[in-house]
Amino acid sequence: MRLSAPIHRLKQRAKALARDEDIPLNRALNRIARQEGFDNWSLLAARTAKVGPNGALLEQLIPGDQVLLAARRGHGKTLMGLRLILETLKQGRTGAFFTLEYTATDVFDRLRTIGANPSLFEERFMFDDSDCISGGYICNRLADAPHGTIAVVDYLQLLDQKRDNPELSVQVQTLKSFAQTRGLIIVMISQISRSFERSARPHPGLDDVRLPNPLDLGLFSKACFLNNGSMQIVPAQHG
């Protein structure tokens, strides 16, 4: 399906709609997406992504990697994470999705939109939406996960919300050490600050990652940034 305009123009249209009708931006984005024939904006953004079904990002990941997957709202970062898991499952490996944002219905519906039948991967796909999700919790849940398992965490900033959780930096360090020791791949979805939208750059960078509290982004081995249907992968060497 061809869009009526480039995705950045559609986003501008949604912003104008949100302003004119005094409605939340995500609601305006979803309305524009439905006009283009998609159920919501995330699906529209994913449709325009220049990432092939074989997973250009997955091909660059190795056991022990901890990866930052970041974008502004509505640019397909959650679907990218699910695609990574799907491609991993197709290879006969194990995948896990930890979310503090979505319900099981949301996630399984999204898997179906990208051609996945979750029931076919029951033994190798772990879904967890517990309110207890933290770095330590994820390590415990993956204690028996085989080498090469990919785990997507949705999302970084929500790990920092509960006061009884360790500091975010401690959680991320715990996950990094665990991934390296066990030969797993941890992919952490992240928000990008609104200020990026005022820039003329084609992709966000490490300086655009929204962090409520300090975090050494060098704890990530790679960073993947999505924007307007394209992807950029860079080493996560901050500063």
- Other residues' Cβ atoms within 10 Å of the Cβ of residue 78: 25
- pLDDT at residue 167 tops 80: yes
pLDDT digits (tens, 9 = 90+) for 201-225: 999 999 999 998 889 999 999 999 9
Q: How far apart are CA 133 and CA 119, in angstroms?
A: 24
Q: Which of 30-44, 83-97, 177-191 has the lowest mean pLDDT?
A: 30-44
Q: How far apart are CA 87 and CA 116, in angstroms?
A: 10
- The answer for residues whose C-beta is within 8 angstroms of residue 205's C-beta and 6 or more apart is 225, 234
Domain boundaries in the chain? 7-47, 58-235
Q: Topology of domain 58-235, per CATH?
A: Rossmann fold (3.40.50)
80 neighbors 46 (Cβ within 8 angstroms):
yes
Of the chain, the percentage scoring pLDDT greater than 90 comes to 59
Name the nearest CA neighbour of 29 among 1, 9, 51.
9
Q: Which of 15-24, 62-71, 126-135 has the lowest mean pLDDT?
A: 15-24
pLDDT digits (tens, 9 = 90+) for 66-95: 999 999 988 889 989 999 999 899 889 999
Higher pLDDT, 239 or 216: 216
Higher pLDDT, 15 or 66: 66
- pLDDT at residue 103 tops 50: yes
- pLDDT at residue 174 tops 50: yes
- pLDDT at residue 239 tops 60: no
Say what the pLDDT of residue 82 is.
Answer: 92
- The answer for residues whose C-beta is within 8 angstroms of residue 186's C-beta and 6 or more apart is 65, 66, 67, 138, 151, 153, 175, 176, 178, 179
Q: Tell me the pairing of strands 222-227 and 230-235.
A: antiparallel
Residue 3 structure tokens: 């869009």
Name the nearest CA neighbour of 69 among 59, 60, 57.
57
Say what the pLDDT of residue 1 is.
Answer: 52
- Burial of 122 by CB count in 10 Å (0-12 exposed, 13-18 middle, 19+ buried)? exposed
Q: Which of 38-42, 122-126, 220-224 has the lowest mean pLDDT?
A: 38-42
